[in-house]
Amino acid sequence: MAEGEDKSEKTEPPSQRKLDKAREKGDVPKSQEIPAWFILAAGLGVLAAFGPSMGAGLTRELSVFLAKPHELSLDNTGALALTATAIISVMLVMGLAFGAIVAAALAGHFVQHGLIFTTSKLEPKLSKLNPVEGVKRILGPQGWVNFAKGLAKMTLVAIAITIVLWPRQSLLAGLPAVAPGQLLVLFREIAIQLMLAALAVFAIIALADYLFQRQQFYDRNKMSRREIRDEFKESEGDPMVRARLRQIRQERARKRMMAAVPDAAVVITNPTHYAVALKYEQGVTAAPVCVAKGVEAVALKIREIAEEHGVPIVEDPPLARALHASVGLDEVIPPEHFAAVAKVIGYVLSLKKRR
């Protein structure tokens, strides 16, 4: 924020350039609830599609702990080997689920802002270590919003779980008497129903949070009129500097134009308001070329230089105005003026022969 400028002055929407700069720094509208929804959806998909096979695999790998616990070696070496074997077995069975969850977490970020590669978020900031700033973040508006969001999420999920489990009170009370193999099937069914209810709740929360974060992002990047002017100056250049550069270019072009007047074959005037200098070398150039033109003061300067170097000056107001309007510098005159210009140049050449 510029010095002497407060948030009340930031009333203009952010420019695309400022949004691009914010993206380069990793500042984009994002909600942490969307990756959470993707993770939950991936877990539900894996549980629904591969739940039975994973349950059977876990039962096969871990049944030894229930079936033959007395045969397990629990000394130092045996306990470590048993733990490592159990972890590897569980990872082999649950590897697909873990991979799906990781892919879902990445997809949850990708759908919001695409791929972003930046190191600015990794740069250490002393302000993050300031306890006062930390308290401001916790007790500030964003902190209260996060608290309300978490409370609403817990409340809605609790309601959804209650709706799913309340009709199954008697079934849950009899779980201790159910065989281990049937427990997994029952748990899978209940887990799918719970995740479906939670998924619906999380979808509403994630959408609302993303819209809120997007609005916060745009409010955070709003610009004041002064910032817009400064950005325009940076991108387009200072108007005074541009005007000065344009003036310098015009002066240089005028000097080059005046330097070409002595080589002209004739200068056609109006007599003082317009002046057009044409270059023509018989047998060298196919048609006359405009090497200089101007009005008022520039026209007078062209006449002055032409007189100093003995360039013929012919007064033809209609032709001078027509040539000035239709031909640019270093351009061949238009075909519709060939006849009129040919008469003028013929007249000039006849004068030279007489001399």
Query: In this structure, what DSSP letter does residue 115 have?
Result: -
Domain boundary among 233, 267, 293: 233
Instruction: Give the length of the chain.
Output: 355
Whose CA is closest to 266, among 355, 349, 354? Answer: 349
Residue 239 lies in a domain: no
Amino acid, single-letter form, for residue 320: A
Q: What is the predicted pLDDT for the residue at 55? A: 63
Per-residue pLDDT tens for 95-151? 777 888 888 888 888 888 777 766 666 666 666 566 666 666 666 666 777 778 778
Q: With pLDDT > 70 as the criterion, what percentage of the chain qualifies?
A: 72
**Alpha helix positions (H), the chain:** 16-24, 33-67, 76-113, 131-139, 141-165, 169-173, 180-220, 225-236, 239-260, 297-308, 317-326, 338-354
Give the residue, 13 or 353, on which the prediction is more confident.
13
Residue 32 lies in a domain: yes
Give the residue, 48 or 54, on which the prediction is more confident.
48
Does 202 lie in the same domain as 168?
Answer: yes
3-state secondary structure of 124: coil
Could you tell me the residue range of the domain that residue 167 belongs to? Answer: 15-233
Classify residue 28 as exposed, middle or buried by CB count within 10 Å of its CB (0-12, 13-18, 19+). middle
Give how many domains the chain has, as a whole number.
Answer: 2
Domain boundary among 233, 265, 295: 233
Instruction: Return d(Cα 28, Cα 113) in angstroms, integer.
Output: 7
Instruction: Return d(Cα 344, Cα 336) in angstroms, integer.
Output: 14
- Contact yes or no for 55/188 (Cβ under 8 A): yes
Instruction: Return d(Cα 333, Cα 288) in angstroms, integer.
Output: 6
Does 203 lie in the same domain as 81?
Answer: yes
Give the residue, 221 or 178, on which the prediction is more confident.
221
Instruction: Return d(Cα 299, Cα 289) in angstroms, integer.
Output: 17
2 has pLDDT over 60: no
Q: What is the predicted pLDDT for the residue at 1? A: 45
Residue 241 lies in a domain: no
> How far apart, in Å, are the Cα atoms of 315 and each of 219, 277, 322?
67, 12, 13
Residue 310 lies in a domain: yes
Which token pair is 304?
Answer: 């002055």
Per-residue pLDDT tens for 227-277? 887 777 766 656 676 777 788 888 888 888 888 888 888 889 987 788 999
Average pLDDT over residues 28-52: 82
Does 337 lie in the same domain as 198?
Answer: no
Does 73 lie in the same domain as 34?
Answer: yes
Which token pair is 89?
Answer: 């077995």
Per-residue pLDDT tens for 169-199? 776 666 666 665 566 667 777 777 888 888 8
Does 293 lie in the same domain as 209?
Answer: no
Does 100 lie in the same domain as 157?
Answer: yes
Instruction: Return d(Cα 286, Cα 279) in angstroms, integer.
Output: 11
Averaged pLDDT score across all residues of the chain: 77
Residue 243 lies in a domain: no
Q: What is the predicted pLDDT for the residue at 3? A: 46
CATH code for the domain of 277: 3.40.1690.10
CB atoms within 10 A of CB 351: 11
Cα dihedral sign for 142, 145, 147, 153? negative
Does 264 lie in the same domain as 228?
Answer: no
Average pLDDT over residues 333-350: 85
Q: With pLDDT > 90 as the criterion, what percentage of the chain qualifies?
A: 0
Does 272 lie in the same domain as 133?
Answer: no
